Amino acid sequence: MAQVLPAEHDVRRIIGDGDGVADGEVEGLDDAALLDLYRAMVLLRTYDERSVVYHSQGRVGTYAIFWGHEAIQAGSALALADEDWIFPSYRESAIGLLRGMTPETVLSWWRGHPAGWWNPREFRIASITVPIATHVPHAVGYAWGARLKGESACALVYFGDGATSEGAFHEGANFAAVMRAPVVLLCNNNQWAISTPLSAQTRAEFLADKAAGYGMPGVRVDGGDVLAVYQATSEALARARAGHGPTFVEALTYRCAPHVTADDPTAYWDAQRVERERENECLGRYDRYLRRLGVLSDELAEDARDDALERMKSGIAAAEALPPPDPEVVFASAYVDPPPTLREG
């Protein structure tokens, strides 16, 4: 019999506030690893901020902003082993940058150019999924398959709070638990599904409580604390690799940017809360933590920023220099035998 585990309700935190709340640390993370996390966050932040500018300049299409979600993305992605697979939603469009993908590739995706398609096997990153939660079963299927083949690879799947209302989420989560698939279900709970607030999304007090219904552990973690996310993901992966199956991680944050560039959130969000959250945003929190530890200097911070900006600059130049795609590409991989209706006209 599977044991039904109550989810943890306390929100896990490692980073203090430099005042009354003391800083903690994560075992096994040395200074170099701490700085890797920092650079990853700076790269994501820079990608995101530049993309919003590029959009306003007509250089990329409608873009899903992830400002303030960098701690969730970097903290979880860097906890993975190289062999592990990532199943991103549109909010994690640039997660490939943390595995050596170039900004040119991701920018091309947002430009609607085929150069934005990558070989999932090359990066162990599945395609960006725009429909909500449909990739949860994909991740579970991959992970179950790896287990059946006796491999040690795990899967990490990202989705938002709104995805937990979807049938595909339920099927994926239930199947993962039943089959003990080595997968981490990482819910980026930023309180909004476009303009639908969490309170209109669920009657559950905590999303993590849903895990108990599937018979898997559920943990809640401060999504603005990169180290807490790293630690929670690491524990979930260790559990998965040991054959104990999936974990549901609810990373709590508040989206203080538009859903996408076509959204006007001032129509629905809480402006005062947005201001508070922006002051306490994740990169600044981690920056201050590293300086309190004496690990980060002005010079290192500036280098990280300059390097990220340089990569974006060459990335957009390279993406814009690509020749326009051949429209026939649309049909290239759609049919083995194109139906006659496609040939008409």
Partner 1 sequence: MAYEFRLPDLGEGLAEGEIARWLVEEGQQIQEDDPLVEIQTDKTTVEILSPAAGTVARILVQEGELVPVGTPLVVIGDGEIAEPGAPAAVDAPAPEPSAPAPKPSERVQATPLVRRLAAELGVELSAVAGTGPGGRVSEEDVRTAALSGGQTPGRGPERRVPLRGVRRLIAQHLTTSHREVPAVTVVEECDLTALSAARGERSYLPYLLQAVAAGLQEFPELNATLDGEEIVFWERYDLGVAVQTDEGLVVPVLRAADERSLDELEAEARRLAEGARAGTLAPEELRGSTFTVTSAGRLGGLFATPLVNYPEVAILGLHRIAPRPAVVDGEIAVREIGWLSCTFDHRVVDGARASAFLLDVVGRLESPT
Ranges within 41-60 binding partner 1 (CB under 8 A): 53-59
- Residue 314 lies near partner 1 (rule: CB under 8 A): no
- Residue 278 lies near partner 1 (rule: CB under 8 A): no
In angstroms, rounded to a whole number, what is the distance separating the alpha carbons of residues 212 and 217? 7
In angstroms, rounded to a whole number, what is the distance separating the alpha carbons of residues 7 and 1? 18
For partner 1, the closer of residues 62 and 314 by Cβ is: 62
**113 catalytic per annotation:** no
Whether the CB-CB separation of 109 and 94 falls below 8 Å is answered with no
* Contacts (Cβ under 8 Å, ≥6 apart) of 4: 212, 213, 215
- Residue 291 lies near partner 1 (rule: CB under 8 A): no
Q: Which residues sit opposite 189 in a β-bridge?
A: 252
Q: Which member of 35, 260, 295, 318 binds partner 1 (CB under 8 A)?
A: 260
- Residue 11 lies near partner 1 (rule: CB under 8 A): no
Taking the complex as a whole, the smallest distance from the CB of residue 300 to partner 1 amounts, in Å, to 24
**55 catalytic per annotation:** no
Taking the complex as a whole, the smallest distance from the CB of residue 86 to partner 1 amounts, in Å, to 27
Q: Which member of 2, 33, 194, 262 binds partner 1 (CB under 8 A)?
A: 262
Q: Which member of 266, 272, 333, 341 binds partner 1 (CB under 8 A)?
A: 266
- Residue 294 lies near partner 1 (rule: CB under 8 A): no
Taking the complex as a whole, the smallest distance from the CB of residue 114 to partner 1 amounts, in Å, to 14
Query: Which has the closest alpha carbon to 129: 105, 157, 148, 106?
Result: 157
- Residue 200 lies near partner 1 (rule: CB under 8 A): no
- Residue 194 lies near partner 1 (rule: CB under 8 A): no
Q: Cα 159 vs. chain centroid, distance in angstroms?
A: 8
Query: Which has the closest alpha carbon to 64: 115, 128, 139, 120?
Result: 128
Q: Alpha-carbon Rg of the chain, whole angstroms?
A: 20
- Residue 275 lies near partner 1 (rule: CB under 8 A): no
Candidates 39-47, 66-74, 236-244, 264-272: pick the segment binding partner 1 (CB under 8 A).
264-272
Q: Which two tokens stand for residue 62?
A: 């409608």
Candidates 6-14, 169-177, 186-194, 259-267: pick the segment binding partner 1 (CB under 8 A).
259-267
**214 catalytic per annotation:** no
**If you write DSSP's letter for every residue of 90-103 in order, what string do you get?**
GGGTTGGGGGT--H
Q: Which member of 32, 200, 321, 336 binds partner 1 (CB under 8 A)?
A: 321
For partner 1, the closer of residues 223 and 258 by Cβ is: 258
- Residue 271 lies near partner 1 (rule: CB under 8 A): yes
SS3 string of 5-74? CCCCCCEECCCCCCCCCCCCCCCCCCHHHHHHHHHHHHHHHHHHHHHHHHHHCCCCCCCCCCCCCHHHHH
Query: Which has the closest alpha carbon to 157: 179, 188, 189, 131?
Result: 188
Q: Which two tokens stand for residue 163?
A: 């995805």
Interacting residues with partner 1 (CB under 8 A):
53-59, 61-62, 260-262, 264, 266-267, 271, 320-321, 324
Please give the positions annotated as active site: 255, 259, 268
